[in-house]
Amino acid sequence: MALPTKHIELAYGDTRLKFDMPEKNLLEILSVSGRDAVGDVPAALDKAMLKPIGSPPLSELLKKFNPQRPLIIASDHTRVVPYYSLILDRLMDEFQKAGIGSNQADLLIAAGNHRAPSCEEREVMYGHNAFDQLNLYAHNCDQNCIALSRLTNGREVEINQRLLESDFIIATGKITPHYLAGYSGGRKAVMPGCASRSSIAANHAMIARRKNGTGQIEGNPIHLEMVEAASLVNIDFLINVVPTPDDKIAGFFAGQWQRAWESGVNLCRQVWSAEYGELADCIIASAGGYPLDINLYQMQRLLNNLECAVKPGGTIALVGQCREGIGQDGFGQWMERYSIKEILSTPEENITAEAHRAYATALVMDKCEVLLVSSIEKSKTQDLKFKFMPDCQSALDHLKHKHGADYKCYVVPQANSIMLERRQP
């Protein structure tokens, strides 16, 4: 007699992979807590703009400072910000009312150490009006960065010179859980978004201190340095969104950059947390499709979001297309060149800008096996120390062989930003 099964579909690029798991093996499908999306999005945006947190409205600030070269910091193509074109259109309306003409304002894409988005990606992300009326520039972490004052830890931080040349800065983006910084948004627009490669490397290398984590900001040196760097730049206004898992809006947060961001963090925790019970033998997880699974460098963060819920010696199976392959050469080179032990014994000062992801991966691989269902070829997958799986059914067969017929497994359909918390008995 056939065992009862649960039909499961996981996002994979622009498509979905489907498989059936025996119900006896499925502990639970872990989904974020969620929250009702705002009904009238334009009205919610207007309310946030008219009653900002810790700041006068943007219209009053523009009247007071009369900027001649305002600059908007925007997220890049690896971050899906719902209603981005609406937000930017609203900002451009404010510019127009303040007498700031078309193509007088700049938009700086906070690409960090990622590739610059294509023209097509820019128009899709930011909308036709922004593409046509703003001067769009993509940050390049290897060019045109200028040192600011030294930080309290003695380090210099280098930032895109456009931030220093602008006379009014507006930061935008989204707030979701983040394994390095605790949460995205806010100060991350500056560091790492608009920082030099060496500054990004030094900041992210503090992962070696092992005081960071998803949702962790207290005592997190990575977060604290980001805050200090952003404070030196003097952000004049911020608008961040907390998205829902289905790319709608849970809330808008506008105003003084740090206070508005902190208010958004409180809502983010409510929206993106999920509880789990017992430790599992294994976890099968998807990032949530494109662009979250655009490459392995972006997919890697799932491991650090999930490892708390799997037993030592367990298995995590990642499901993501990775249409652009590994994504960052430095990450791939470290994963191929060094053993897990060698990566974890690397001194902080020797961890490069992309190598922090290798370190983060090694932390998990030191605890459990990692399978990968992706478009990356088998030999390359194995070189990167992931175990290649051609499809989800092959992954299930491997789990059964390794952990026995009664293995216990969590499935996480949207693991890119999930914040797991142990369920209290």
What is the rounded distance in angstroms from the CA atom of residue 20 to the CA atom of residue 396?
9
- Average pLDDT score over residue span 168-187: 96
Instruction: For residues 237 and 71, give the distance between their C-alpha atoms in angstroms, rounded to a whole number.
Output: 11
Q: What is the DSSP string of 344-367?
A: HTS-GGG--TTHHHHHHHHHHHTT
Q: Which of 2-6, 234-238, 397-401 has the lowest mean pLDDT?
A: 2-6
Give pLDDT, residue 117: 84
Residue range(s) in the chain whose domain bears CATH number 3.90.226.30: 5-30+277-422
Q: Residue with structure tokens 């972006």?
A: 298
**At the top level of CATH, which class does the domain 5-30+277-422 belong to?**
alpha beta
Q: Closest by alpha carbon to 386, among 351, 413, 358, 417?
A: 358
Adjacent-strand bridge partners of 168:
70
Q: Which two tokens stand for residue 394?
A: 């092959």
Tally of CB atoms within 10 A around 161: 13
Radius of gyration of the chain (CA): 22
Give the number of residues written for the chain: 425
Q: Which amino acid is at 97?
A: K
Q: What distances in angstroms separate CA 394 from CA 389, 391, 406, one per listed residue?
A: 6, 5, 17
For residue 136, which of 94, 105, 174 has the smallest C-alpha distance? 105
- Retrieve residue 357's tokens: 């992801």
**pLDDT of the residue at 1:** 59
Mean pLDDT of 213-217: 94
With contact defined as beta carbons under 8 Å apart, do 3 and 21 qualify? Answer: no
pLDDT (0 to 100) of residue 329: 87
Residue 219: pLDDT over 80: yes
φ, ψ of residue 332 in degrees (nearest 5): -65, -40
- Range(s) for CATH 3.40.50.11440 in the chain? 41-271
Q: List beta partners, residue 29.
A: 411
Q: What is the DSSP string of 292-354?
A: TTSSHHHHTHHHHHHGGGEEEEEEEEEE---TTTTS-HHHHHHHHHS-HHHHHTS-GGG--TT
Record the pTM: 0.91
18 phi, psi to nearest 5 deg? -120, 140
Express each pLDDT in 409-425 by its tens digit.
999 999 998 999 999 87
Class of the CATH-defined domain 41-271: alpha beta
pLDDT per residue over 259-290, tens digit each?
A: 999 999 999 999 999 999 999 999 999 999 99
Residue 328's pLDDT is 83
Euclidean distance between the first and the last CA atom of the chain, given in angstroms as a whole number: 35
Instruction: Give the model confidence (pLDDT) of 350-389 as tens digits.
Output: 998 889 999 999 999 999 999 999 999 999 999 999 999 9
Q: What pLDDT shows up at residue 425?
A: 76
CA distance 42 to 59: 17
Query: Tokens at residue 338, please?
Result: 């060094």
Please answer whether residues 87 and 45 qualify as being in contact, where contact means their C-beta atoms are separated by less than 8 angstroms: yes
The values of phi and psi at residue 416, to 5°, are -60, -40
Q: What is the SS3 assignment for 251?
A: strand
Mean pLDDT of 194-210: 96
On the question of pLDDT at 148 being above 70, the answer is yes
* Peptide linkage before 291 cis (omega within 30 of 0): yes
Q: Are 130 and 88 in contact (CB under 8 A)?
A: yes
Please check the confidence at residue 106 and state whether its pLDDT lies above 70.
yes
